[in-house]
Structure 1
Amino acid sequence: MSASANNPQPTTAGLSGRERFLRAARGEQVDRPPVGAWVHFGTALADPELTTAAHLSFLRAHDWDYLKVMHDYRVPSPDQGTLAARLEAFATLGTEQAGFARQRRVLTELRGSVPDKALVETLFSPFQTIIRSLGQDVVPLLQADPGLADVVIGRVAYLLADYASGLVGLGVDALFLALTGASSDWTSFGITAEQHRRWIAPHDITVLQAAAGLVRIGHLHGDDIHPGAYDAHPHEVTSWSDAVSRPTIAEVLEAGRIPLLGLDERAASYLGTQQVHEAVLAKRREARDRIIIGPNCTLHTDTNPDVLDALRSSVEVAL
């Protein structure tokens, strides 16, 4: 009897996009890497029905394996008072005030519409969530009062963690958490490595721990990520812009995580089909196909549909 008969390999024929994504995220054998992409649809003020329709149209146009759902509804803050008072108000927000009801409706509708696709919810780190609601002018206030920073960011982390812990019940497969504050470019808003370590990273970890049971995708945002800044963050899949920052693909794999990348978002709008294929194939070879394919970060909203089609077809090319 052959060795293969003694140790049969799991079949990968006829995998759905959802099955392919989940297997790949666990490092298991798949027929080809799963592929997806994402853009912001400008739906921050839209009804859930419109947000859902935009996602479904994008998914069906390109037949992605996974749908990364954009969570563009901001956590509300008081619209009056000083910036300091509005910031402090975050410390008293309750779970029902956090404004997640519309996004839950989006996720519920999407899960019912595409049961065969992996559903990936997006959240921004507690620190970034505050900036997305109040603007970057709050950063000096946080830096000037580390105690306030810890309390306010901690409260937002609690709200996000409470929300994340309920995603499994909505049929969500993965959580994509955008992590900021540990890079050398402007997207860290002047936060130092020590400030990140002391009152940003612990609250990121709180959210990721609450998402246990989902595939957790840590998106390391920015240029020149501080070495080791996210080593302690629990996640199964790492997303980052490897053209401008470490880690390397080899380092991610050595850490027991699966890389999610393939298309440089900064150049994507101007690439041709062959260039997209070459870029993705290079990453697939580097990872020995232990990879999930997607853009390294959010694509521009007017990215040429031909680029998206090329990204989709790139995983059908044999190595």
Structure 2
Amino acid sequence: MTSKRERIQAALTGQTVDRVPVGFWRHWPGDDQNPDSLAAVTLAYQRKYDLDFIKLPVSSTYCVEDYGITHAYRGSIMGDREYLSRIIHCPDDWAAVGPLDIRRGTYGWHLDSLGKIVKEKDQDTPVIVTMFHPLAIAAYLAGDELFLAHLREYPEKVLPALHTLAETSARFASACIEAGADGIFLSTRFASHELLSRDEFDQFGRPTDLMVLEAASAGWFNVLHLHGQHPMFKETAAYPVQAVNWHDRTSGIDLQTAARLSPKAVMGGVEQMRLLQDGSPREVMDQAREAIQKMNSRRLILTTGCTYPLAVPEANLMAMRRAVENAIG
């Protein structure tokens, strides 16, 4: 009998699988603010759907809370927390962005939560930890508009802070692997033509991304998530990861195109904002099986393009999970 670990490893390397691996994820507002409840909902979720991997479902605030930002859940349909205050207001504020001790504070309790999950999960079920690349972390500290303005007008002030954020992230990535994670899920929101030019990304984004990925290199299941409708897919194709996840159903880069652009395994196949939320179980299953057939069941992990809304019906999640059973590639 093929284990989940073996199934994922086969998919990552393009080998024949007994069935395509499957996974999906959501936010857990409230429960994502405590190590015990975060571990509990994460484990219960995986067991309920019998998913092939666990993705630790963190809030974006976890990587900046210890700098003093404030936040609250205000009813977001995605389960995201709202930023109530930032710490960057003028260019000189970037000098206050120092290194964090990843064993203490919010980083520290996320390591505690990961430890609980690793201890209590089925040992054959891989677990990956969601991280946000340094550009996104910097934007959480300032807000997108101010961050981009400072990055372009005062790069000499922002770049040292980006490097510091990358060093902290790299230490956290390494600590996650040491704690038993099989890899990280690096969300690169600014690797997008909507936000940066290629030259800007090469200057500000790529070097710090690679610092974090190098720190996670002992993991065997590292995933690059490209957020947005115009992802820098070609520009990040050589990133040292085993799989790539993006909005494949809406961005114009479908699974087959991606498979030609990159030797990595692809993670996608089901559109989460409209189809998974508003479609019927039959439509969800049909789209999932279409993806499996187009990829001939190779180099594919069936997932959504990103986090799905909290209002997605249970029947649609079950349909996505069942789609991999007896699917013909």
Shorter-chain TM range is: 0.7 to 0.9
Give TM-score, length-normalised by structure 1.
Answer: 0.87
How many residues align? The count is: 302
Secondary structure of the 1:204 match is: helix
Task: Note the residue ranges of structure 1 that are not aligned, 5 or more in a row.
Answer: 1-13
Q: Does 1:66 align with 2:53?
A: yes
Partner of 2:113: 106
Residue 158 of structure 1 and its aligned partner are, at CA, apart by: 1.1
Aligned to 1:52: 39
**How far apart are 1:294 and its partner, in Å?**
0.9
Q: How far apart are 1:163 and its partner, in Å?
A: 1.3
Larger radius of gyration: 1
2 CA distance for matches of 1:54 and 1:27? 32
Residue 181 of structure 1 pairs with residue 183 of structure 2: no
Task: Give the corresponding residue for 1:294.
Answer: 303
- 1:141 aligned partner: 150
Residue among 157, 161, 182 paired with 2:166: 157
How big is each residue's C-alpha offset from its partner over 1:217-267, in whole Å with a ceiling of 9 and x where there is no partner? 111111122462212322110101122325442343342110000111221
Aligned to 1:282: 290
Contact 2:99 2:167 in 1 (8 A): no
The answer for the alignment partner of 2:200 in structure 1 is: 195
Q: How does 1:217-296 map to 2 (within 5 A)?
A: 217-226=223-232, 228-254=234-260, 255-267=262-274, 268-290=276-298, 291-296=300-305
Cα deviation, residue 112, structure 1:
1.3
| Native 8 Å contact 2:99 2:168 kept in 1 | no
8 A contact 2:163–2:208 mirrored in 1: yes
Partner residue in 1 for 2:2: 15
For 1:148 and 1:266, locate their aligned partners in 2 and report how far apart those are by CA, in whole Å.
Answer: 38
Residues 81 and 221 (structure 1), Cα distance of their counterparts in 2 relative to 1, 3 Å cut: closer
5+ unaligned residues in a row in structure 2: which ranges? 70-85
Give the equivalent residue in structure 2 for 1:171: 180
Check whether the contact 1:74–1:133 (CA below 8 A) recurs between aligned residues.
no
Contact 1:238–1:259 (CA under 8 A) maintained in structure 2: yes
- The letter of the residue matching 2:325 is E
State the 1:95 CA deviation: 4.5
Equivalent pairs: percent with the same residue? 23
Partner of 2:133: 125
Shift of 1:87: 3.3
Judge which range, 304-313 or 158-167, deviates more.
Answer: 158-167
- Check 1:195–1:43 CA distance in 2 against 1; reply closer, same or farther (3 A cut): farther
Is contact 1:225–1:246 with CA below 8 Å preserved after alignment?
no
Distance across 2 between alignment mates of 1:74 and 1:166 = 14
CA distance in 2, matches of 1:292, 1:243: 15
SS at match of 1:229: helix
2:94 pairs with one of 72, 87, 98 = 87
Residue 216 of structure 1 corresponds to which residue in structure 2? 222
Structure 1 residues 257 and 81, CA gap change in structure 2 (3 angstroms):
closer
The answer to whether the Cα contact below 8 Å between 1:98 and 1:159 also exists between their aligned partners in 2 is: no
Greater shift after overlay, 17-26 or 51-60? 17-26
Q: What CA deviation, in whole Å up to 9, does each residue of 1:289-315 have, x standing for no partner?
A: 120011111101221111111111010
Opposite residue 63 of structure 2, the aligned amino acid is R
1: CA distance, partners of 2:88 / 2:163: 21
Q: The residue matched to 2:285 in structure 1 has which SS?
A: helix
Match of 1:9 in 2: none
- Amino acid aligned to 1:127: L
The residue aligned with 1:41 is 28
3-state DSSP class of the match of 2:224? Answer: strand
Deviation at 1:133, TM superposition (A): 4.0
